[in-house]
Amino acid sequence: MKLKILILGPIMAGKTCLANTLCDLTPSEEYNPTQGVRIVECEHSYSVDSSKTEIELWDTSGDHKFETVWPAFQRDAHGIIFVFNSNVHNHISELLLFYDYFVTQSDLNNHKCWLIDNSKSGRGGDMTNGPTLPKQLAPLQQKKLDIQSEDDILKREFNQFVSSLIRSVQQSSNSVLGGL
């Protein structure tokens, strides 16, 4: 099985940093804006039947000048990781624009999304201390963490997220087969 997972969110939210951390690539010292998209691959072992899943992480740019390629990002995507920083004043409104295009106006539902607040709050907290999120984001599975220093928590939760995506892809392919 191959999963396409989009990493979406505002400029300088930490999307490239997240992709590098998940794929054990060395993070770059300075900020290099992603030009359009960068695709990195990693593998996941699904614990139930220990089969291997290839994962394509689409590390996208947060810059709106690339909006024309958003339809290509979206095509055949299985899940989305949204990254933002609740300490940056415009990040929540930016995040809503991505959510609106990639979730509200698409057929990808909230269960296939994960929201990461990369606001460097300290270890393993939930999102109870930050600014209140708009209500449409409330159903999303969410986590506040520092991507680089909390890579252990990040990887554990990423594995859970991928496992749940695999289950839902398997369920939908079973229901398609059942309908034949």
Ligand X SMILES: Nc1nc2c(ncn2[C@@H]2O[C@H](COP(=O)(O)OP(=O)(O)OP(=O)(O)O)[C@@H](O)[C@H]2O)c(=O)[nH]1
169, 3 contact by CB (below 8 A): yes
The four Cα atoms 41, 44, 49, 51 give a dihedral, to 10 degrees, of: 30
Query: Does 12 contact ligand X by CB under 6 A?
Result: yes
79 near ligand X, judged by CB under 6 A: no
Question: What is the rounded distance in angstroms from the CA atom of residue 127 to the CA atom of residue 11?
Answer: 21
Q: Which of residues 5-44 bind Mg ion (CB under 5 A)?
A: 15-16, 34
Size of the site for ligand X (CB under 6 A): 16
Residue 34 or 141: which CB sits closer to ligand X? 34
The amino acid that residue 75 corresponds to is: R
Does 146 help bind ligand X (rule: CB under 6 A)? Answer: yes
Q: Name which of ligand X, Mg ion, none residue 80 binds, using a CB cut-off of 5 to 8 Å depending on partner kind.
A: none
CB 77 within 8 A of CB 98: no
Backbone angles phi, psi at 28, to 5 degrees: -80, 150
Side-by-side strand order, sheet with 52-60: 37-45, 52-60, 2-8, 79-84, 113-117, 141-144
**66 is a site residue for Mg ion (CB under 5 A):** no
Residue 59 CB contacts under 8 Å (≥ 6 apart), including other chains: 7, 15, 16, 18, 19, 34, 37, 38, 39, 40
Closest C-alpha among 84, 98, 61, 94 to residue 147: 84
Binds 147: which of ligand X, Mg ion, none (CB < 5-8 Å by kind):
ligand X
If the CB atoms of residues 15 and 91 are measured against Mg ion, the closer one turns out to be 15
User: What string marks each residue from 24 to 63 as x (binds ligand X by CB under 6 A) or -?
Assistant: -------x-xx--------------------------xx-
| 11 near ligand X (CB under 6 A) | yes
Q: How far is the CB of 79 from ligand X (least distance, A)?
A: 18
> Interface with Mg ion includes 118 (CB under 5 A)?
no
* CB-nearer residue toward ligand X: 92 or 147: 147
Residues forming contacts to ligand X in the complex (CB under 6 A) are 11-17, 31, 33-34, 61-62, 118, 146-148
